[in-house]
Structure 1
Amino acid sequence: MIQVKWKSIIIYVLVLLLGISAALVLYFYQVFYKSHHFLPGVRIATINVGGYDQNGAADLLAAEFDYLSDTGISFNYRDYQYDTRLGDLVDSPDPRKIIVDVWEQERHRNLFSKVFNLDGAEAIEYPVKITYDAQKLKNMGSDWKEHLESECLNARLEIDPVKGLVVIPAKKGIQVDIQPTLAALPGEWQPAENINIKIAVQEIEPRIKESDLHGMGEISSFSTWYNPSQTDRSHNVALATRALNTTMVAAGEVFSFNKTVGPRLPEGGYRDAMVIVGDKFEQGLAGGICQVSSTLYNACLLAGLKITERHNHNLAVAYVPLGQDATVSYGTQDFCFQNNLGDPIYIWSQAGNGKVTMRIYGKLKYKQSIQVSHIVDQVIDFKEIRETKEDLPPGTTKIEQNGSPGYVVRSFRTFFGNDGNIVRQEQLARDNYRPLNRLVYVGPAESSQPGGEPPETEDPTHTSPEENEGGNAAEDGSDVELRG
């Protein structure tokens, strides 16, 4: 009897345990898999959504986003302040999409975590990243730049009619560093007091400081002349001259004309001016630049600087003596010199009213008595070329291009001592200039006209050749002033 009783008890207990287990399984199934509500402790963007269904959680989240969007943000640097709202900078979040994504993640959350957090004691966080509107950030950055950025200004020299040589102080530049500033913005949606962010800036130190220019004086000067009525060419000359002005060259540094002036492109403001291509005049970009480089070349010669690269034109030009020109062509031919003096030098340049002037400033102890000269070894006569031009009146001629001779020239630089005697002399170059042939257009033959040469007519628009940047050019007569 006792044995039967124990068997009954055991069976009863087993049935009871199975019932309880089944109930628990059913309960957890309903709670974890069939429930339409978030479990306790679930937080989305720090908002507790435990016990809410998806619709309720979405409404709760939407209200929270509206509240957080009003969070004030102040960007500041010194006295400048830019105020905005978080909502003005972000892409509006979609609460319902966020809820669906979190619901799916909850379905796959560890069962152990779910069972032991039914009281919600542990927060199950689902942060929501903030997505910023790129265009809005860009517009905000542009406002910062407009109000805060300033150009770095090197110290420079100016000539005052009364005070003489005056040093104009340098000024630091300010450049806004946008990315580090934006990195301080919140990355996730969460409650916050008004946000204050300091705008990151970089201070650009000037390369030339006042101390670099104190005690400087003019150690050489050279000027050339041009025709100011040729407006496009004059514009190019002035543009390149401005690019050179206030250039500082440190002791031992090599100066490059092309690097300093930069590419001569329409985007940079350069214009077409008359140039020679072959033996004919055509419009070409940046005509006149070589007058600027040639003027600087002569100023450098008179300052005693070491010339490291220089090229002569194919044709003789008139704004400098033979053998004293320096043609440039961006990417192929450059004019370079090395500052072989023991201290920095400073280039002051100016163009206007038909005159280009280059002055080299440095410590006055480097001022020398220097003379540049040349010897013509050979003169090469030009030829006259006649071409028939059908649109000319029969029996007439037009001078399209005046001729000029070619030369073989040696140039020299002579250094004199304080007593006027020659200290040393060096040959600078031996240059070959080809002749520019005279080009005459001839009208078609006129059968009724008696024999003899047709009369010549001259087109005044082609009597003033221009220089091109590549070195294949000649110009009309110009006065030259040498000082050094």
Structure 2
Amino acid sequence: MRILFGLAVLCAVVVTGISYFVLYRYVSDVPENKICGNIYIGNVNVSGRTKKEAKKLMEQHLKEDAALEITMKVGDKSAGATLEELGLAYKDIGKVVDKAVEYGKKGRLFTRYRQIKGLEKEKLVLNEGFVLDAEKTKAVIEERVEVLAEHAKDAGITKSADGFDITKEKKGETVDEKASAEMIRKYLNSGWDHKGFKVKMAVKTEEPSVKASDLESIKDELGSFSTDAGGGERWKNLKAGVDRINGSILMPGEELSVHDTTAPYDAEHGYVEAGSYENGQVVDSYGGGICQVSTTLYNAVLYAELEVLERYPHSMLVAYVDPSRDAAIAGDYLDLRFKNSYDTPIFIAAEIDSANQMRFTIYGKDTRADGRTVEYESETLTTEDYGVTYKENKEAELGSMQYAGSPHTGKTARLWKVVYENGAEVSRDVINNSTYEKSDQIVEVGTMSDNAEAAELVRKAIASQDKAAIEAAVAQAKGMSAAGSDNAGEEN
């Protein structure tokens, strides 16, 4: 009996040893540095690839996926974008490739055998792990998809001869950016067939920010100011700026930026080239004259006693208001910004009237005391007369003089706010201090001549910036040129 038991144990050990040897030989046949057969990452077969080869293959496949287009629908409207524009990327493709390489090569011998053997019957598909760039996706949705939604409409108000006409607000919808982006991401990671696709964007209710009931308090004129609109091309820019500001409603605490409201200044948005200040000179640029729009509004804001957040003087004096009453606009670095400091909404009406006066009127609920009025006084502190600067013009005839540039007197000034109660002055405060640079009269002196000596004579005189010396040199140079001409006509 003991002999039989011993033989059984011995046989079991032998069989187990043989089985272990078979399993070991089976799993050892798989190259350690290559991915087992029948393994996919997404729809990419990475079987037999090294880690480096698999990563390169996946990076190439990502480029192909990124070129595909997604159609984003809101109602019956749609907009398209490539997945590249949404910032399609892998979350961590290196980690996924590592998982593919390690499959069948880690753990107990039987586990490894079972994994490798199972690949003969069924492929293993690992998810790529797609992500979208949050900022890029947001930018695409805001630019192309938000405009498709039927957005809420704020209540509006207009001034008529009989008073104010109010139009009611309307609820709408807006695209839920985060929910939509997450929906796209989930689709990409849930059996996506790597083809272009359509998606119905998530939307949510949008409430109007201004309601008719909010505007019922607008009854009074808070402040008004006008300037002459002039004519020519510049007038077109004034009209374009006025139209963009007209009808603006500011709720309590809300701000308005003149630059943001009226820009961009280009032909597409109704602006033309007209005179504007640049480096102390008047040059033509798109939107030239928009500063008169901001200046006129600035004065209306002062009379309405709204809070001014940002205001800058021009580099040189302007003709349409007194010093320190102007407000310059330049690029995105000089702006006029103000805030509704009342507890109720305000409404800005803007027009160029039949008398060609550009007028801004600010309406709201006047809570200032009866008999209280404000005035603004401009005080000039210093004055610097402009001079004359002589410059050479190599293309103009020798000795010719042409006036150029735009001469301006320099000044420093301040603006006073004077408050009256029942006609009596009760306070006087400085609102701003402004500096205006002088701009010299430019006189271009011609030096074009066949007589190099005569031209050099005038050139040296120009360098002295002395009017008498320049005039004397011009007279002498002309004499030299005339003499040279006579000598050229003599025969030998």
The answer as to 2:216 corresponding to 1:214 is: yes
Q: Is contact 1:245–1:348 with CA below 8 Å preserved after alignment?
A: yes
Return 5+ residue gaps in structure 2 as ranges. 28-37, 41-47, 49-70, 80-87, 90-95, 193-197, 448-473, 480-492
Partner of 2:295: 294
Return 5+ residue gaps in structure 1 as ranges. 1-5, 36-42, 46-53, 55-73, 83-89, 92-97, 191-195, 451-484
Q: Secondary structure at the match of 2:360?
A: strand
Deviation of residue 391 (structure 1)?
2.5
Deviation of residue 174 (structure 1)?
0.9
Deviation of residue 299 (structure 1)?
0.5
Q: Secondary structure at the match of 1:216?
A: coil
- Worse-matched range after superposition: 284-293 or 316-325: 284-293
CA 1:323–1:168: 2 relative to 1, 3 Å = farther
Partner of 1:169: 169
Q: Secondary structure at the match of 1:392?
A: strand
Q: Secondary structure at the match of 2:396?
A: coil
CA 1:342–1:13: 2 relative to 1, 3 Å = closer
Residues 26-68 of structure 1 deviation map (CA, whole Å, 9 limit, x = unaligned): 4576578659xxxxxxx999xxxxxxxx9xxxxxxxxxxxxxx
CA 1:22–1:144: 2 relative to 1, 3 Å = farther
Q: Secondary structure at the match of 1:221?
A: strand
Residues 303-331 of structure 1 deviation map (CA, whole Å, 9 limit, x = unaligned): 13344554433422112234321234567
CA 1:391–1:355: 2 relative to 1, 3 Å = farther
For 1:22, the aligned partner's letter is V
Q: Is contact 1:181–1:198 with CA below 8 Å preserved after alignment?
A: no
For 2:295, the aligned partner's letter is S
Q: Which of 414, 436, 440 is equivalent to 1:437?
A: 440
Give, in whole Å, the separation in 2 of the partners of 1:145 and 1:108: 48
CA 1:449–1:176: 2 relative to 1, 3 Å = same
CA 1:128–1:337: 2 relative to 1, 3 Å = closer
Partner of 1:129: 127
Partner of 1:105: 103
Give, in whole Å, the separation in 2 of the partners of 1:265 and 1:80: 29
For 1:326, the aligned partner's letter is A
Deviation of residue 413 (structure 1)?
3.8
CA 1:171–1:271: 2 relative to 1, 3 Å = farther
Aligned residues: CA RMSD: 5.8
Q: Which of 4, 12, 19 is equivalent to 2:11?
A: 19
Aligned length: 386
Give, in whole Å, the separation in 1 of the partners of 2:348 and 2:402: 45
Q: Secondary structure at the match of 1:145?
A: helix
Deviation of residue 156 (structure 1)?
3.4
Q: Is contact 1:215–1:363 with CA below 8 Å preserved after alignment?
A: yes
Q: Indicate the structure with greater helix content.
A: 2
Query: Where do 1:440-479 residues align within 5 Å?
Result: 440-444=443-447, 445=474
Give, in whole Å, the separation in 1 of the partners of 2:114 and 2:394: 104
Residues 49-103 of structure 1 deviation map (CA, whole Å, 9 limit, x = unaligned): xxxxx9xxxxxxxxxxxxxxxxxxx998778899xxxxxxx99xxxxxx9xx989
Alignment TM-score, normalising by the size of structure 2: 0.56
CA 1:375–1:103: 2 relative to 1, 3 Å = closer
Larger radius of gyration: 1
Partner of 1:372: 376
The answer as to 2:221 corresponding to 1:229 is: no
Alignment TM-score, normalising by the size of structure 1: 0.57
For 1:166, the aligned partner's letter is I
**Which is bigger in relative contact order (C-alpha 8 A, separation at least 6)?**
1
Give, in whole Å, the separation in 2 of the partners of 1:144 and 1:408: 49
Partner of 2:345: 344
Partner of 2:458: none
Partner of 2:387: 383
